[in-house]
């Protein structure tokens, strides 16, 4: 108990961060999930041609920003596994935004889980978007 009393500021900061991540995920996830094309997991071709058609410096800046946001979401999702929030969906959204070797195979594997895909599609339906097609195996 003395440790708790000595670190009240830290504990209050962690509680505030937890509430902020929870509210942030509730706001950001429907927006991000709605932007995924319906055939994202089923289409063997990636949807990155639109970004690559930009000027190289603009492309690099957007690519860095997209990856930064993606990895922040992955870290926030990992924290949300023990704190309030939508941890698994946040991790998946972070992985969708990030670029790394083996990403496509991991996304398809996660999206082939019926419970995960139904959670994503539930959020998409509530925001008025068509459900995502399951991966073709």
**What is the radius of gyration, based on Cα positions, of the chain?**
17
Contacts of the segment 56-65: beta carbons below 8 A, 24+ positions apart = 63/99
Ordered by start, the domain boundaries in the chain are 21-126
What letters, b where the CB count within 10 A reaches 16 and e where it falls short, cover 42-64? eeeeeeeeeeeeeeeeeeeeeee
- How far is 1 from 124, CA to CA, in rounded Å? 45
Angle at 31 between CA 123 and CA 128, to 5 degrees: 50
**Residue pair 131/38 in contact by the 8 Å Cβ criterion:** yes
Q: What is the per-residue pLDDT across 19-45, written as a single tens digit (0 to 9) for each? A: 887 787 778 778 878 888 888 888 766
* Mean pLDDT across 123-134: 90
Cα separation of 86 and 100, whole Å? 23
pLDDT at 130: 92
Token digits of residue 47: 């949807």
Q: What is the rounded average pLDDT of the residues 50-79? A: 86
pLDDT band of residue 48 (cuts 50, 70, 90) is low
Average pLDDT, the chain: 82
Distance CA 26, CA 63 (A): 24
User: pLDDT at position 67, please?
Assistant: 92
Position 46 scores a pLDDT of: 62
pLDDT at 85: 67
* pLDDT tens track for 82-117: 876 678 778 878 888 888 888 888 888 888 888 988
Answer whether residue 8 shows pLDDT above 80. yes
């Amino acid at each position: 108990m003395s440790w708790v009393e000595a670190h009240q500021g830290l504990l209050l900061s962690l509680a505030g961060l937890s509430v902020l991540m929870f509210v942030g995920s509730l706001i950001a996830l429907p927006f991000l999930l709605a932007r995924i094309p319906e055939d994202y997991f089923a289409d063997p071709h990636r949807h990155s041609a639109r970004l690559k058609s930009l000027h190289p410096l603009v492309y690099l800046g957007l690519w860095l920003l997209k990856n930064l946001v993606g990895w922040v979401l992955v870290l926030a999702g990992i924290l949300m596994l023990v704190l309030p929030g939508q941890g698994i969906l946040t991790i998946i959204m972070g992985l969708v935004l990030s670029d790394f070797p083996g990403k496509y195979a991991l996304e398809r594997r996660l999206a082939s889980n019926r419970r995960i895909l139904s959670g994503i599609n539930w959020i998409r339906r509530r925001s008025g978007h068509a459900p995502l097609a399951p991966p073709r195996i």
